[in-house]
Structure 1
């Protein structure tokens, strides 16, 4: 096996379990599928693999899984998380036929936490910090929503605040300038594994290209390393992938979300 193969095998074995959804309210099993419900009216479908299912079986699972969520009026949005290395005949077509919309693929990146935990110079006036107060968390969530092209969501902010209160390992990091949050990201260590995830990384457009995202990533990696996590994983956009590659991270596969909205 190559180093990339070994990292992908570790990803599949350690992360594609209940460890993937620590903040789930409920989990229902449908064959190998895990139908997860989160707070804020969000559904999420994932699995370790599809157990060798053929096209006909997959075509039956997709509407059955969607029916589970559509019967719950509290569910407004469902994401089906696919991975590029899975054997999933007919899944793309079945998802589209049942009203899911394919979103942009991202790269699954894995690398050593020690490679990221480096000193990164910051622009003048920029400060990095971990946030724990509700007001700071809500301000961070609103900034992320706007950067990702969405209206600020009180439901999303409520879910992140609740998670922060409930999970002591869950860390929220921001970069400030003159009291304004200009970059942010989460660190999610996965207990019982070698991995910590870095998620939600984004920077206000006018502050991009100045090393702030790299510095925020380094801070999160340092925190993970201090807690004994040796590997970092991330689903990366075309913006963040080159940054991680410069630190020796490997693209082991791709992930593409398919989203259904009520």
Structure 2
């Protein structure tokens, strides 16, 4: 299969299998409005996604944005909302409409997809570094705090609470860390998606002083091995420019881009 054919096949699988309830396993509520899925999560978070925009023209897209903002504006418990856009969608005027309605774009990320077996090779670790899966609350909170620090965010309980809730639901999500001398130096989660061929790898973060030593690649390989044990053949990830080259070297393919747009209640 040629690379363009492979990219098209993987992107078709992504659109068909992942742009559904599979995208929001920990949702509190999901409300459908035309093609939109308006989702609420713990911590006052809202989320907007869709398989496509139903062929809407520029005026129709603007109307969908307006309706979505009105919906979340009417939910006082929701303080911030993410609109998840994809670069391959037909969405005329979406960027301009989102800006006009108070959204701010993050940097685009690469949608990466590939065969789980391509990532599952054993990767040697630096001396003194070990990998393990975590389930206990102190470990989960320490992992979440490390990720906040690496991503330049204030350390908060919000993500840790969400992860602990997910673990209580026993929905197959797994949390993995790398440690050195009892300190978490890298982390990420695995999310096998029920009813699909996919498992997602998310939240990958490594402390700057430990980068470039194969630790994140080893953590990714270990998660891929677990995905295969769950019967998943494909891995997907939204990757920053830090992790994209690592995943490409493991055989994943960039099939599109995704840009989160964020709205915060004033």
Q: TM range, normalised to the smaller chain?
A: over 0.9
CA distance in 2, matches of 1:165, 1:130: 15
The question of 1:238 aligning with 2:219 is answered: no
- Matching of residue 105 in structure 1 with residue 119 in structure 2: no
Is residue 183 from structure 1 mapped to residue 207 from structure 2 by the alignment? no
- Residue in 2 aligned with 1:145? 148
Aligned counterpart for 1:249 among listed residues 238, 249, 252 = 252
2:8 alignment partner, one of 5, 10, 16 = 5
Mapped partners of 2:127, 2:28: distance in 1: 42
Scaled by the length of structure 2, what TM-score is found?
0.97
Which 4+ runs in 1 deviate beyond 2 A?
Answer: none
Asked if 1:72 is matched to 2:78, the reply is no
What secondary structure sits across from 1:2 in the alignment? helix
| TM-superposed deviation, 1:168 | 3.9
What RMSD, in angstroms, separates the aligned Cα atoms of the two structures?
Answer: 0.9
Aligned equivalents of 2:122, 2:138: Cα separation in 1:
29
Q: Which runs of 5+ in 1 are unaligned?
A: none
Alpha-carbon distance in 1 for matches of 2:159, 2:66: 26
* Separation (CA, whole Å) in 2 of partners of 1:235 and 1:120: 22
Instruction: Give the Cα separation in 1 of the matches to 2:224 and 2:145.
Output: 24
Aligned to 2:230: 227
Equivalent residue pairs, number:
262
- Once the 2 structures are TM-superposed, how far is the Cα of residue 50 of structure 1 from its aligned partner? 0.4
Provide the residue aligned with 1:201 in structure 2: 204
Report the TM-score when normalising by structure 1.
0.98
From 169, 173, 194, the counterpart of 2:172: 169
